[in-house]
Chains A and B, each alone.
Chain A
């Protein structure tokens, strides 16, 4: 450590870093040319997610090992680099530094051994198990380093136990007292470190470069918002990897195939061919092909082959199995988003190739012609409100609608589905009981466009969204409360890109404030034991976890039970992402998987806040044919029942 570097060593270091830099530059040429300049990154995210490993530590054991390995590399590296400058530091701090160095080494050794044995014992063919080289390299670095330290100690023959290097002392017992051996070990250590750095672009270890970069450039703004392609200029989704954005390509580079996405993906769990990890791997492989082709072109003239189609690697069954529940995005420790790639591929399939699954076509046609998913037409959009004196915003005294505090966005389910019509009426009852001045758009409302957008029909989504935005702007709506989490997400996260920004909240959020402000009082018990099913579009998409729970706690005599998977771990009902309209031919039905889990919690009532979840779970629990089938109800219905 004390030996200053010779110029030959400096040359070696320069060579290693040159290899690393050139390797990365070549590998990353594809996305780096697309990256717009002046994109600001997220320093805070780097701190929490890289230095503190917040997201990796969601798996404590493996995350802890990774944390130990991370700091076990970083601290000694910094210390050794600083040591080359020959600072003169007093004895005590130097010893302390030495101790820290040694402890970091121990941490790295523990972490590496843990990860190594985990790889040896693993049966996961797709995971990081195939990456043994960096692990072995790390072990070589560690053993050679400690052997050098050990022989240094045994050469010095210090009296007593050298407390600054506990593990070094242990190694001194087995290492020979030979300066030549020490020098050899130092050389080996040095070369292994350089080899590790030089190998970054070519092995699994490139995640050490790509993943922090991906964390740094993580998606800003609403996580749930989908990108808004400029259709006019021909952006109709991803046909090949070249249609992906630079960030999507960086995502693919940053993946270490840890498999947390797969373990949480409802499609993968229920036996569908979809694996978010495989999608990312396919994209990375195709990126490698394209980069190789470009390299070949720059070397010798010739025709660059067309980039391979994404659908060659990713089948239709995979891309249409996604329920867009966002579990993969939630659980990725380095913020990779398989979801937006799936949506981009769907966009190309639907808009570019007109390949929409046949089951969904009638729904898309109805949306196009009649403006709702059931094809009943705007003329019938207010049928649910017969007898209910619900004011329509066009008929309120002032044209600007300033008399109205809140616009109630009913949505297709609330307006047409017989069961959700009940929920709409329940909401009206609650709003009237609380004395809120509200109105509905009535026949001027059309579908928010969520089903079309998640199925990839961006053109249809634009058409519907423009119609709605035109009306909302016309009445200068300030605040919207929606009954359906899908409408909530679309209005809140998707419409701002189209120039419509306003406060959008979900009915449960509003009801929660009404209960807290004592504007409504829940009087009557509804059920003894109930559980909450977290709707993906409410929870993971919009972080509304607490209001449904608080509401249910406010219902007298109700004991709230949590299911095994809840909140951000919540399991999808299988109805999102347009899956509501698609057949589920492969594997188990997702709604049955979820219903089984909910039924195991032993509850009388399952509360949810999403019309899709309501239908899916109700079907699910009924198909279980239990002796005592739990009821499934919308939380708004529960509140209205409890009001009396």
Chain B
């Protein structure tokens, strides 16, 4: 049996400590490059099947540039057999997307072709990604491959592995929300999206060395892909979370302490002080509003 696990390499932004609105208050050190944790959980489920059944191969499938190479190699080291990378370098730039990513329709086209080429019996992908969170990949893949789809599974067992015409059967547990669980029986081949739950195992040293030297296999479908069906027009970052401001030094005067507290709470508002004449300040404010799309009306005279 061949299990294909779709692994997305993401930049996970966990903090907003920057000061400039252009970068959405995000500094380079505010994020880490990693493999989407839901996809890691999917890999773990696949590896558990591999532990149990011989002749099972686990193939990782990733799309786009290797931005989290160290992490995806770590995933390889945990026990996957192969890594296929779908090349998107020849594609028209996805500049319309704030994260430079293809839209789910395009992605599912590429991935579905890869799954067909690799002849996967079971496709696992994460329920959603930490950077986009659209959660469409599994469903769209199933649609394009005309396969059954179960979302948000947390456990997976094989009940019948007779890989004949009728295919094997699987029993999956999915979380239906609010603590409700469903056990679903499903025929192979199938597509499942995996919810968090099973932490990915640690790599063993021997496999780790193999993964260090492993050269990912390339899949290239050229520029001949479906046209995007939707586009993300805006991506808003939330306001930075208020921080706990440490108590000011008790030896200071009350006035200074209050000022420090205020300064501390203002740290996150990250304002820019405008100087100069009132006119130039007004210009500055309008320029700022315009630049950040707060001001879209054309009535205001520039």
Contact = CB atoms under 8 A, between A and B. Distances in A.
Interface in B199-226: 199, 201-206, 208
A445 to B, nearest CB: 12
Given A377-B15, A377-B32, A379-B29, A384 B201 contact: no
Nearest to B201: A354
A502 B204 CA distance: 34
A361 B14 CA distance: 20
Contacts, number: 60
B17 A379 contact: yes
B205 A352 contact: yes
A425 B14 CA distance: 25
A387 B27 contact: no
Interface in B222-251: 243-246, 248-249, 251
B260 interface: yes
B204 A384 contact: no
B267 A353 contact: no
Nearest to A353: B204
B205 A387 contact: no
Contact of B205 (A351, A370, A378): A351
Contacts of A231: 205
Nearest to A443: B29
B16 to A, nearest CB: 8
B202 A377 contact: no
B263 interface: yes
Nearest to B71: A369
B34 interface: yes
B5 to A, nearest CB: 18
B245 A356 contact: no
A590 interface: no
B204 A379 contact: no
Main secondary structure of the interface of B (DSSP, over half): loop
B30 interface: yes
Given A353-B204, A361-B199, A379 B27 contact: yes
A194 B27 CA distance: 78
B202 A387 contact: no
B14 A386 contact: no
B197 interface: no
A387 B203 contact: no
A388 interface: yes
Interface in B66-122: none
Contact of A386 (B202, B208, B251, B267): B267
Contacts of B267: 386
A345 B245 CA distance: 44
A598 B45 CA distance: 48
Contact of A350 (B34, B202, B206): B202
A112 B118 CA distance: 78
B249 A429 contact: yes
Given A377-B14, A378-B29, A387-B260, A421 B34 contact: no
Nearest to A463: B70
B206 to A, nearest CB: 8
A387 B265 CA distance: 10
B264 interface: yes
B203 A354 contact: yes
Nearest to A347: B205
A604 to B, nearest CB: 22
Contacts of A370: 14, 32
A405 interface: no
B49 to A, nearest CB: 18
Contact of B248 (A350, A356, A364, A387): A387
Interface in A614-644: 644
Interface core residue of A234, A364, A386 (most chain B CB under 10 Å): A386
Contacts of B14: 370, 377, 379
A236 interface: yes
A380 interface: yes
Nearest to B261: A387
Nearest to A380: B15
B201 A386 contact: no
A377 to B, nearest CB: 5
Contacts of A388: 246
Interface in B2-49: 14-15, 17, 27, 29-30, 32, 34
A352 B205 CA distance: 5
Contacts of B30: 377, 379
B34 A387 contact: no
A362 B202 CA distance: 11
A354 B201 CA distance: 8
A352 to B, nearest CB: 5
Contacts of B204: 351-354
A386 B15 contact: no
A362 B40 CA distance: 14
Contacts of B263: 387
Given A370-B32, A443-B29, A383 B243 contact: yes
Interface of A: 231, 234, 236, 350-354, 356, 361-362, 364-365, 369-370, 377-380, 383-384, 386-388, 421, 425, 429, 443, 459, 644
11 contacts: A353-B204, A354-B201, A361-B202, A364-B202, A377-B14, A377-B30, A380-B17, A386-B243, A387-B245, A388-B246, A425-B246
Given A356-B202, A377-B30, 10 more contacts: A354-B202, A354-B203, A361-B199, A365-B199, A379-B29, A380-B17, A387-B245, A387-B264, A388-B246, A443-B29
The 6 closest A-B pairs by CB, nearest first: A379-B15, A354-B202, A379-B30, A351-B205, A354-B204, A236-B205
